[in-house]
Chain A
């Protein structure tokens, strides 16, 4: 999953200090493996260098880390492009998909539409593999089967996530 794009999404909701940004990220996306502070600031530094976020002035009397970061128009454009681009239909896409859904709900964007985009990408790949099965050798068919079962598992995950969108929306907006 792209940490930079996820941080951009969190900043689109509201400008934040690096410390709050890390806490928000860890709560939603890194419960097992917190994001190191060093990575947060290095990522924000790169985003600022590339014009995707801007850092406000240091706020006085608030300790060393009191810059508030805000997303720029360029950052919004990049984040939006990421949301609407389906992930490659490969195993272990759950983290990136979940990040997109959670961020979309936080920002009042159409999460169901993003799930449909991913669903279409998966079904398109499944169609290709089904054609391999219908026209290829048995060994190719068996390998295609393996891919199909994994993609099907992802699609069931997408279906279940879609069915839970209302509950998830309540949780992220709480």
Chain B
């Protein structure tokens, strides 16, 4: 177990299972409000789907929870620490060391090979190149990407590129994986493969997943869902509904 994960686990144990929490989060872009007071709790190890119509604020919420954006007001807590008041350097380290990210269009570094892309989080965390590449290569077999280690992103299909992006997101065993429409650019079958791999990897590592999607078939991989509409989050619970 990594030191970061151990710290997180202790914090979670102290906090009764809560790993991430948003309290009254408000965020606007200029005069346009995106989040109008979001309260949300994400428990350690769960897979949470964040759903909602286009422009509802679900990606903005993900970016706030991940420390990419800071709210105008309200609080973001992770593993017992308030992160919205951290400086950029500290938040950057948090994202690098404890979070993983998958976006709709892979966003691989085009100058790097597939295995260098996967190894990138480890290299940034100070792992020696040979060790980082060795750990990266393990994922190529697990994600059915054998033989593609030396290719660059332009030489990969959409599904292959997204699996490489997934490998990059989980190679450092993050505590939280933030996935923003991870299958949005893929056909149904390829999207299904990516989701199966994502869920398998998260379950194996005990990773908490926050999954933004507008697709019910993707949300169905999650343990529970919240819906964001008009900048507020509502939990969906079978048999009842409420904030």
Residues of chain A having any CB pair with chain B under 8 Å: 86, 113, 116-117, 119-124, 126-127, 129-130, 133-134, 148, 151-152, 155-156, 159, 162-163
Contact = CB atoms under 8 A, between A and B. Distances in A.
A144 to B, nearest CB: 10
Given A123-B225, A134-B196, A163-B53, A116 B241 contact: yes
Interface residues of B, number: 22
B53 to A, nearest CB: 7
A3 B239 CA distance: 23
Given A116-B236, A120-B236, A163-B53, A127 B220 contact: yes
Contacts of A117: 239-241
Contacts, number: 56
24 contacts: A113-B241, A113-B242, A116-B227, A117-B240, A119-B236, A120-B237, A120-B239, A121-B239, A123-B216, A123-B220, A123-B225, A123-B238, A126-B216, A126-B217, A127-B220, A127-B221, A130-B217, A130-B220, A133-B192, A134-B196, A134-B199, A148-B217, A148-B220, A163-B53
B53 A159 contact: yes
B219 interface: yes
Give the secondary structure class of B's interface.
mixed
Which of B199, B239, B242 has most chain A Cβ within 10 Å?
A: B239
A86 B240 CA distance: 9
A163 B221 CA distance: 25
B234 interface: yes
Contacts of B219: 123, 126
Contacts of B240: 117, 120
B167 to A, nearest CB: 20
Nearest to B237: A120
Nearest to A160: B53
Nearest to B52: A159
A121 B238 contact: yes
Contacts of A127: 220-222
A155 B216 CA distance: 7
Contacts of B238: 86, 120-121, 123-124
Contacts of B242: 113
B216 A122 contact: yes
A40 B240 CA distance: 32
